[in-house]
């Protein structure tokens, strides 16, 4: 069963997350389908892609599929994790990707939205950074995705509280490009897409890559990187990490003991 829909009108591609039963959780199957669609659009000469959920959803995406998170002894967000592959695919896709947001956005899906080039949201949308709710030690490139889109104080507030922020506040903070009433979401998103599609694709593609390269350019020594990885290993091997996942799967509140 397919978990996404794919459509192309002229040079505008659309990928629709379509697994409402699981609130569009970013399972490896759903992510493989999105990545395949992005590749198909490159081959088909699309000039812009809109990443959306089905009209009227309450949840755009509930984030990483918690059932696919390792219980311990393995980095939950390592290089080959599906979520990591999807964020890189969005950044490396030569044409702009517009996140068209209706409903709430959680965890890894919030990073996916921030990795998109432009974010258009409806007024009732919310955005939440959730690792602290599950005990997950988010990874460096994932936090960098957030830092490139969100002021550091706001990233810290969202990451440490794990509480959603409203679309209007996200717009005031520059996290979201446009916030519109739900009935204007499509017109606004596809209006931006049409403006982009009529411009020079080679110029846009190279500026997208230049901007991403500049945004991701950071000095971090191998020694510092290895120290961070060691710290993260302690966290994803902790009892709290296992408790966070078990509590989610058992639909109960977690009890974190700091060990
Ligand atoms: O009980 P059934 O079998 O019907 O399944 C339920 C949920 O278990 C399932 N589901 C998920 N399954 C796997 N991974 C998920 N992230 C996930 N979210 C939901 O979908 C079915 C319907 O969910 P339900 O009944 O809760 O729907 P609802 O409409 O009452 O509530 C919608 C949400 C989104 C408010 C609620 O599902 C929720 O809070 N989901 C988890 C949001 C979240 O904390 N996501 C973070 C995932 S971890 C992640 O992204 C990163 C690793 S991190 O945390 O580090 O950023």
25 in Cβ contact with 62 (< 8 Å)? yes
Q: What percentage of the chain exceeds 90 in pLDDT? A: 99
Does 246 have pLDDT greater than 90?
yes
Identify the structural domains of the chain with CATH numbers, from first to last. 4-184 (3.90.226.10)
Distance 197 CA to ligand 1 centre (A): 35
The catalytic residue among 63, 103, 135, 138 is 138
Q: What is the pLDDT of residues 70-93, one digit of tens each?
A: 997 899 999 999 999 999 999 999
For residues 217-223, average pLDDT? 95
pTM: 0.98
Distance 237 CA to ligand 1 centre (A): 22
Q: How many CB atoms lie within 10 A of CB 183?
A: 8
Distance 216 CA to ligand 1 centre (A): 30
Q: What is the pLDDT of residues 88-102, one digit of tens each?
A: 999 999 999 999 999
The catalytic residue among 64, 103, 135, 142 is 64
Does 209 have pLDDT greater than 90?
yes
> Crossing angle for the helix pair 239-249 and 222-236, nearest 10 degrees?
50
Question: Pocket around ligand 1: residues whose beta carbon is below 6 Å from it?
Answer: 22-23, 25, 58-59, 62-67, 104, 106-108, 130-131, 133-134, 136, 138
d(CA 126, CA 104): 5
Asked if 108 is an active-site residue, the reply is yes
């Amino acid at each position: 069963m397919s978990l996404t829909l794919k459509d192309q009108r002229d040079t505008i591609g659309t990928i629709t997350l379509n697994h409402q039963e699981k609130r569009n959780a970013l399972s490896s199957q759903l992510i493989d389908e999105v990545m395949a669609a992005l590749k198909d659009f490159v081959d088909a000469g699309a000039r812009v892609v809109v990443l959306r959920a089905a009209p009227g959803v309450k949840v755009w995406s509930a984030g990483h599929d918690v059932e696919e998170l390792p219980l311990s002894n393995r980095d939950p967000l390592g290089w080959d994790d599906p979520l990591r592959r999807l964020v890189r695919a969005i950044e490396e896709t030569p044409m702009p990707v517009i996140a068209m947001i209706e409903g709430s956005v959680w965890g890894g899906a919030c990073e996916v939205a921030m990795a998109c080039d432009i974010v258009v949201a409806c007024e009732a949308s919310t955005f939440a950074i959730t690792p602290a709710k599950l005990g997950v030690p988010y990874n460096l490139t994932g936090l960098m995705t957030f830092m490139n889109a969100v002021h550091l104080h706001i990233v810290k507030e969202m990451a440490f509280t794990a509480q959603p922020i409203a679309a209007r506040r996200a717009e005031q903070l520059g996290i979201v490009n446009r916030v519109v009433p739900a009935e204007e979401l499509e017109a606004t998103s596809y209006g931006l897409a049409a403006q982009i599609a009529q411009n020079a694709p080679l110029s846009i593609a190279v500026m997208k890559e230049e901007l991403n390269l500049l945004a991701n350019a950071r000095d971090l020594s191998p020694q510092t990187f290895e120290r961070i990885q060691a710290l993260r290993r302690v966290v994803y091997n902790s009892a709290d990490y296992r408790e966070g996942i078990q509590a989610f799967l058992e639909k109960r509140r977690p009890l974190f003991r700091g060990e």
